Amino acid sequence: MEKTTLYLPTELLLTFRGLARRTGRSQAALMREALQGYMDQQEAPHFHSIGIAEHSDLNAEDIDEWLAANWRPDEEWRSEPDPYSK
C-alpha cells in the first residue's frame, strides 16, 4: 500500500471526520472504500482497433481476396491507395 496526499474542502473534511468517528472506522479505510466504490462505477475503457479492423464493412473473406490479388512478399511494398478507405 502507498501513501498519498489529498486536499479536501474544509466542509467535506469535517463531514468525513465525523463519519469516521460515528462509524468507528479510520479515515483511511473510509477513503479507500469511497474511492473503490467510485472506481467500480466507472465504465471500462473501450479499446479502439487500428488499421483495417476499423473498417466494419470488411470481413476475413475480403481480406483474403485482397491479399491474394495484391500481396507480393518478394517485392518491396509499394504505396497503393487503400481500396477500403472511406
Kindly list the averaged pLDDT for each block of 10 residues, start to end, along the chain of length 86. 92 94 95 94 74 61 77 65 62
Does residue 74 fall inside a structural domain?
Answer: no
Q: How far apart, in whole angstroms, are the C-alpha atoms of residue 9 and residue 40?
A: 24
Q: How far apart, in whole angstroms, are the C-alpha atoms of residue 22 and residue 62?
A: 65
- The pLDDT tens digits of the residues spanning 25-42 come to 999 999 999 999 999 998
Does residue 34 fall inside a structural domain?
Answer: yes
Does residue 25 fall inside a structural domain?
Answer: yes
Does residue 27 fall inside a structural domain?
Answer: yes
**pTM of the predicted structure, to 2 decimals:** 0.50
CB burial string 3-23: b at 16+ within 10 A, e below: eeeeeeeeeeeeeeeeebeee
Number of domains making up the chain: 1
Does residue 80 fall inside a structural domain?
Answer: no
Domain containing 32: what range? Answer: 10-41
Does residue 16 fall inside a structural domain?
Answer: yes
